Amino acid sequence: MDDAQPRLMLADAEGGARGYTLAGRWTAAQLADRATWRTLSAQLQGARAADGRWDLQAVQQLDHIGAQLLWDHWQQGWPDAVEVSAGQRAMLERVARFTVPAPAAAKGGFAQGIDSLGLKVIHAVGHMRYGTRLVGQLLIDCLRLLRAPWQGPWRDISGHLYSMGAMALPITALVGFLIGVVLAYLMSMQLKQFGADAFIVNILGISLIRELGPLLAAILVAGRSGSAITAQIGVMRVTEELDAMRVMGIAQGFRLVMPRALALAVAMPLVAVWTTLASLAGGMLAADVSLGVTPAFFLNSLPQAVLPSNLAVAMFKSLVFGVLIALVGCHFGMRVKPNTESLGQGTTASVVTSITVVILIDALFAIVFRNVGI
């Protein structure tokens, strides 16, 4: 056996008491081996610290790790009989002085549940208060822009229009086209059974133009641009750029929130129209392949099946979606703490909240405008 291997030996001591002799090197290098650690832990669990006699004089080397292992097994107290050298005693006393008792496990109960619920309510109220202030500040900034348009951050607005609108066209077109193909194929399987092939134009037109086109575009933009907004402003918080803007007297709402809200308010309806057209193109192609509905018949029947008011409702919804996505992204970006962990959490919360808000508002619009264009 290697002399450096830490080991615990059992022997009978005087008076019938058990004697525990330690040998080898009780150091981090030796105890790093998992097998050695498990073996020593099992042996120490079977050893009795209270009524045994401990002899550490044969130990070649003892560091903080080995001393902590022994001290924890001794339940942070000295045995009744222990033989140690002066250096070993100093090491054990140092470990005893700096060892912190483990915190007691929190006990669940009714009171803890009430406290947890109260914290969540306070957290939600804080978000609502900050969000309300953000909306109010946006309205004030828009009035300031109307009063002095030559002082507006037009370069920021145009840059956000390009990054949030034009750069989102490829992915929205691809996803919209595929969604149109899938919907048309699923509908064709049912319509064939009743000989109602021509009604696929009505179903696709209403569902894509009025609901799925704007909703799909909003969800994609929320995941793409909403997360980018939160990450951009959050990084400014981490790098203390927001604090620098405050010191320099630059209005954060006017230069950060308003340009993004206006850019998405303009870009979202256009992206929604683009996504809807791609979805209709996919549906028209799938209808031609599966039902024999020609593109000419599809295009001629579409204006009769879908009233212009449906497009107006879709554009209004998209405008609201764009403003809400920008506000949610800015809201969570402003509340990011100056550390990377908070930045990741804020970005995730921004995307989830944006998508949830978009779906909730879409359901509300569906109820409010249920008699419009139908």
Please identify, among 63, 98, 133, the residue that sits at the C-terminal boundary of a domain: 98
Q: Mean pLDDT of all residues in the chain?
A: 85
Instruction: Identify whether 52 is part of a domain.
Output: yes
Among residues 83, 98, 113, which one ends one of the domains?
98
**pLDDT confidence of residue 48:** 60
Q: What was the pLDDT predicted at 249? A: 87
Range(s) of the domain holding residue 271: 121-368
- What secondary structure letter does DSSP report for 3? T
Same domain, 234 and 196: yes
Residue 58 domain-assigned?
yes
Number of domains, the chain: 2
The answer to the question of residue 107 being in a domain is no
Distance CA 236, CA 333 (A): 9
DSSP letter, residue 328 = H
pLDDT more than 70, % of the chain? 92
> 114 lies in a domain?
no
Q: Cβ neighbours of residue 175 under 8 Å, at least 6 residues apart?
A: 216, 220, 275
Beta-carbon contacts of 66 under 8 Å, excluding residues fewer than 6 positions away, are: 6, 25, 26, 27, 28, 31, 59
Q: What is the pLDDT of residues 150-188, one digit of tens each?
A: 988 999 999 999 999 999 999 999 999 999 999 988 888
pLDDT value at position 316? 92
pTM of the model: 0.70
d(CA 232, CA 347): 10
> Model confidence over 240-289: pLDDT tens digits?
898 898 899 888 889 999 999 999 999 999 999 999 999 999 999 988 88
Q: What is the DSSP string of 264-275?
A: HHHHHHHHHHHH
- Do 245 and 195 lie in a common domain? yes
CATH number at residue 74: 3.30.750.24
SS3 306: coil
* Same domain membership, residue 22 and residue 66: yes
Residue 19 bridge partners (DSSP)? 11, 53
11 in any annotated domain: yes
Calpha distance 132→135 (Å, rounded): 5
| Average pLDDT per 10 consecutive residues for the chain, totaling 374 residues | 72 62 81 80 68 76 82 74 81 80 66 82 88 91 91 90 92 93 87 78 87 92 92 90 89 90 94 94 88 85 85 91 94 88 90 93 88 68
Residue 112 within a domain: no
Choosing from 98, 129, 145, the residue where a domain stops is: 98
Question: How far is the CA of 52 from the CAs of 149, 181, 341, 347, in angstroms?
Answer: 87, 79, 49, 58
